[in-house]
C-alpha cells in the first residue's frame, strides 16, 4: 500500500513539474488537427509547429496570425501556472503515556570488607626499605 502511494505521488509530482494536466490529454486531438492545418496551410513540419506554438517563434506567430487565436487557446499545454502538492505523512506508533517513577530504598549492603589476614602481611615482609 505504501509503495503504491509513493509511486502515485511521485508520478503526480513528475507530471506537474513538466506541466502535464489531465485536461491536456483531452486536448490532444486539437493539437493534431491544428498541426495538420499548419502542415497543409504553411508547410510546417512538427518541429516548426511546436516552435511556433510553444517555443521561440510563439510571439511572432501570435502577432502575425490573430485569426487563429481561438484555435491557439484550445491547444494543450497552454496554461502558465504551476502547482506542486507535497504530502508529508508522519506516523507515530509510540504511546504518549507517562508513568510515574517508583523510588525505593535499598536497605541491603552490596559490599563487604574483610581485614587483610594473609601470612605475608602478618610476617612483615612488605616493609619499606631501610638505610644501612
Using a 10 angstrom Cβ sphere, with 0-12 exposed, 13-18 middle and 19 or more buried, the burial of residue 53 is buried
- Assigned domain for 13 exists: yes
Residue 62 belongs to some domain of the structure:
yes
Dump pLDDT digits (tens) for 67-78.
888 888 888 877
Whether 100 is covered by a domain: the verdict is no
Per-residue model confidence as pLDDT tens digits over 108-118: 777 777 776 66
Domain membership flag for residue 103:
no
Residue 82 has pLDDT above 60, yes or no: no
Amino acid at each position: 500500500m505504501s509503495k503504491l502511494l509513493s509511486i502515485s505521488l511521485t508520478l503526480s509530482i513528475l507530471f506537474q513539474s513538466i506541466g502535464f494536466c489531465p485536461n491536456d490529454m483531452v486536448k490532444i486531438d486539437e493539437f493534431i488537427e491544428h498541426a495538420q492545418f499548419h502542415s497543409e496551410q504553411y508547410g510546417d513540419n512538427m518541429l516548426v509547429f511546436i516552435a511556433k506554438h510553444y517555443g521561440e517563434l510563439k510571439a511572432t506567430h501570435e502577432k502575425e496570425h490573430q485569426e487563429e487565436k481561438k484555435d491557439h487557446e484550445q491547444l494543450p499545454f497552454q496554461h502558465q501556472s504551476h502547482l506542486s502538492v507535497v504530502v508529508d505523512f508522519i506516523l507515530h506508533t509510540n504511546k504518549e503515556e507517562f508513568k510515574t517513577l517508583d523510588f525505593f530504598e535499598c536497605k541491603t549492603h552490596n559490599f563487604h570488607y574483610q581485614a587483610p589476614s594473609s601470612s605475608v602481611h602478618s610476617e612483615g615482609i612488605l616493609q619499606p626499605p631501610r638505610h644501612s
